[in-house]
């Protein structure tokens, strides 16, 4: 699916005034969207980046959920506590369904992705 992300736009994080954001598309085949805050009026430091709808890199080749490739890599290292990882639309739980070391996600059996059945996406700050 092709899409276009504007290079500059405004959104309201509260009712008081708009906040300028900068957006860009990155990653292989446009698999990631990033937003950068222009100020910190709403509790985020200036320049904080977000990855949205990113597909972690790695081969999905499992057949049972307990075999195959368990390790996948994100484009950036997520800020502590910010990763929201979904497999086939279901939120995965850190240290229950997967572990995270740096930018590497390792699924825990029986949550290893299955070929032709599972897909995964990540949202996080970095």
Residue 76 above 80 pLDDT?
Answer: yes
Domain assignment present for residue 47? The answer is yes
Split at pLDDT 50, 70, 90, the class of 30 is very low
Write down the pLDDT at residue 44.
57
**Main-chain dihedrals φ then ψ at residue 22, nearest 5 degrees:** -115, 130
Domain assignment present for residue 2? The answer is no
Number of structural domains found in the chain: 1
What tokens does 103 get?
């930018």
Domain assignment present for residue 3? The answer is no
CA-based R_g, the chain, Å: 16
Residue 38 above 70 pLDDT?
Answer: no
Domain assignment present for residue 120? The answer is yes
Beta bridge partners of 71: 106
Task: Give the largest CA-CA distance in the chain.
Answer: 52
Domain extent for 65: 8-125
Write down the pLDDT at residue 6.
42
Cα distances (Å, whole numbers) of residue 11 to 24, 43, 54, 74, 92: 15, 16, 22, 27, 29
Residue 89 above 70 pLDDT?
Answer: yes
């Amino acid at each position: 699916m092709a899409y276009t992300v504007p290079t500059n736009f405004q959104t309201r994080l509260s009712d008081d005034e708009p906040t300028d954001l900068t957006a860009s598309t990155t990653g292989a085949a446009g698999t990631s969207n990033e937003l950068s805050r222009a100020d910190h009026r709403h509790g985020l430091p200036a320049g904080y980046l977000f990855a949205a709808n990113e597909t972690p890199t790695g081969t999905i080749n499992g057949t049972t959920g307990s075999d195959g490739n368990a390790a996948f890599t994100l484009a950036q290292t997520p800020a502590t506590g910010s990763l929201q990882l979904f497999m086939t639309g279901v939120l995965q739980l850190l240290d229950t369904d997967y572990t995270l070391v740096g930018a590497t996600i390792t699924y825990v059996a029986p949550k290893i992705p299955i070929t032709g059945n599972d897909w995964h996406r990540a949202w996080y700050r970095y």
